[in-house]
Amino acid sequence: MKLPRRNFLKLAGALIAAPALPRLASAMDYPTRPTKIVAGFAAGGGVDITARLIGQWLADRLGQPFVVENRTGAGGNIGTETVVNAAPDGYTLLLATVPNAVNASLYDKLSFNFVRDIAPVAGVIRVPMVVLVHPSVPAQTLAEFIAYAKANPGKVNMASAGSGSAPHMAGELFKMMTGVDMVHVPYRGQGPAMTDLIGGQVQILFAAAPGTADHIKTGKLRALAVTTAARMTELPEVPTVGDVVAGYEASQWYGFAAPKNTPAEIVDKLNKEINAAIADPGMKARLAAIGGAPMPGTSADFGKLIADETEKWGKVVHAGGLKPE
Q: Are residues 169 and 213 in the same domain?
A: yes
Contact 124, 278 (CB under 8 A): yes
Burial class (CB in 10 A: 0-12, 13-18, 19+), 67: middle
Same-domain check for residues 232 and 157: yes
Would you state the pLDDT for residue 1? 46
The candidate with the shortest Cα–Cα distance to 249, out of 156, 177, 160, is: 177
- Residue 144 domain-assigned (yes or no): yes
Last residue of some domain: 193, 223, 243?
243
Residues 281 and 225 in one domain: no
195 lies in the same domain as 257: no
Kindly state whether residue 219 falls inside one of the protein's structural domains.
yes
One domain for residues 208 and 261: no
| 256 plus 207 within the same structural domain | no
Residue 311 lies in a domain: yes
- Residue 160, Ramachandran bin (φ over 0: left; ψ between -120 and 50: alpha; else beta): beta
**Per-residue confidence (pLDDT) for residue 25, from 0 to 100:** 47
Q: What is the total count of domains within the chain?
A: 2
Alpha-carbon span 288 to 258, nearest angstrom: 25
Supply the pTM of this predicted model.
0.88
Query: 208, 243, 278 — which closes off a domain?
Result: 243
Q: 179 and 234: one domain?
A: yes
Q: Is 221 found in the same domain as 149?
A: yes
The range of the structural domain enclosing residue 271 comes to 35-127+251-320
pLDDT attached to residue 26 = 64
The residue type at 131:
V
In-domain check, residue 113: yes
What is residue 7's predicted lDDT score, i.e. its pLDDT?
54
- The domain boundary, picked from 209, 243, 277, lies at 243
| Whether residue 39 sits in one domain with residue 116 | yes
Same structural domain, 45 and 121:
yes
Q: Is residue 28 part of a domain?
A: no
Do 193 and 219 share a domain, yes or no? yes
CATH number at residue 181: 3.40.190.10
Within a domain: residue 25? no
Q: What is the CATH number of the domain that holds 66?
A: 3.40.190.150
Identify the helix (H) or strand (E) that includes residue 283.
helix 281-288
pLDDT of residue 8: 47
Q: Give a yes or no: residue 14 inside a domain.
A: no
Helix, strand, or coil (residue 170): helix
Contacts of 254 (CB under 8 A, 6+ apart): 46, 47, 50, 95, 96, 97, 123, 124, 125, 127, 292
- Residues of the chain where predicted confidence (pLDDT) is lower than 50: 1, 3, 8-9, 11-12, 14-15, 17-18, 20-22, 25
Residues 145 and 231 placed together within one structural domain of the fold: yes
Tell whether 27 is covered by a domain: no
Res 5: pLDDT: 52
